[in-house]
């Protein structure tokens, strides 16, 4: 038996004496019980939302799963990607360079670098990629803000 299964009408009718259980009194009793039944339904909805929120945490896969469940349940196209796409490669200075351990040789005084500074840094910690559908951005931001840490910055990109 689930402790949250509660039929308001049934228990209201059980608490009335048998000699008062006529049609008119039962209808009046059900009319008085209707606000309590609505309150009970709101309680169950709130409980369901709280259980869903407790099953997810701030980790990337968990937030991505929650966003896909809430906003794109069929195709699941919402993705969370890192804002910095490339890792920086540490280049040794001439003082740190040891010929016995590394085989580096400069061909010119102005070497070409692999990545630009813009590719190695970003002002955002992660990017949320969403499909071009009718997703409510305010609701999406509220859902993301609930799960991620306040120090994390993100950007929403429509793909």
Average pLDDT along the chain, 159 residues, taken 10 residues at a time: 84 93 94 95 94 90 94 93 74 62 57 67 88 92 93 92
Nearest-10 Cα torsion for 139, 140, 142, 143: 120
Same-domain pairing of 35 and 76: no
Q: Point out the domain boundary residue: 55, 77, 100.
A: 55
Same-domain pairing of 147 and 70: yes
Same-domain pairing of 6 and 65: no
What pLDDT is recorded for position 83? 85
Same-domain pairing of 3 and 70: no
- Evaluate whether residue 156 is within a structural domain: yes
- Is residue 81 within 8 A of residue 129, CB to CB? The reply is yes
Query: What is the rounded CA–CA span in Å between residue 92 and residue 156?
Result: 37
What pLDDT is recorded for position 89? 63
Sheet containing 126-130, strands listed edge to edge, beginning at the edge strand earlier in sequence: 79-82, 126-130, 154-158
- DSSP H or E stretch at residue 128: strand 126-130
Q: Point out the domain boundary residue: 13, 38, 55.
A: 55
Q: Which domain holds residue 132?
A: 57-86+115-159
Same-domain pairing of 37 and 63: no
- Evaluate whether residue 100 is within a structural domain: no
- Evaluate whether residue 92 is within a structural domain: no
- Evaluate whether residue 158 is within a structural domain: yes
Nearest-10 Cα torsion for 36, 41, 8, 51: -120
| Domain count of the fold of the chain | 2
- Evaluate whether residue 4 is within a structural domain: yes
CATH number of domain containing 121? 3.30.300
- Is residue 63 within 8 A of residue 52, CB to CB? The reply is no
- Evaluate whether residue 108 is within a structural domain: no
Same-domain pairing of 145 and 124: yes
What's the predicted TM-score (pTM) here? 0.66
Same-domain pairing of 8 and 36: yes
Distances (CA, A) of 101 to 92, 104, 113, 156: 12, 9, 22, 45
What pLDDT is recorded for position 154? 93
What pLDDT is recorded for position 3? 81
What pLDDT is recorded for position 95? 61
Closest C-alpha among 56, 47, 46 to residue 144: 56
Closest C-alpha among 151, 1, 131, 159 to residue 67: 131
- Is residue 157 within 8 A of residue 127, CB to CB? The reply is yes
- Evaluate whether residue 99 is within a structural domain: no
What is the total residue count of the chain?
Answer: 159
């Amino acid at each position: 038996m689930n402790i949250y299964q509660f039929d308001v009408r049934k228990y209201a009718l059980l608490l009335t004496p048998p000699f008062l259980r006529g049609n008119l009194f039962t209808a009046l009793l059900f009319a008085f019980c209707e606000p309590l039944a609505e309150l009970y339904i709101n309680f169950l909805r709130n409980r369901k939302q709280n259980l869903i929120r407790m099953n997810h945490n701030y980790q990337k896969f968990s937030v991505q799963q929650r966003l896909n469940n809430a906003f794109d349940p069929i195709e699941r196209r919402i993705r969370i990607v890192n804002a910095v796409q490339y890792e920086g490669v540490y280049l040794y200075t001439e003082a740190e360079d040891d010929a016995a351990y590394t085989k580096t040789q400069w061909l010119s005084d102005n070497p070409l670098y692999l990545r630009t500074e813009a590719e190695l840094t970003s002002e955002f910690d992660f990017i949320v990629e969403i499909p071009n559908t009718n997703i409510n951005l305010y609701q999406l931001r509220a859902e993301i803000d609930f799960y991620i840490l306040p120090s994390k910055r993100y950007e929403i990109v429509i793909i």
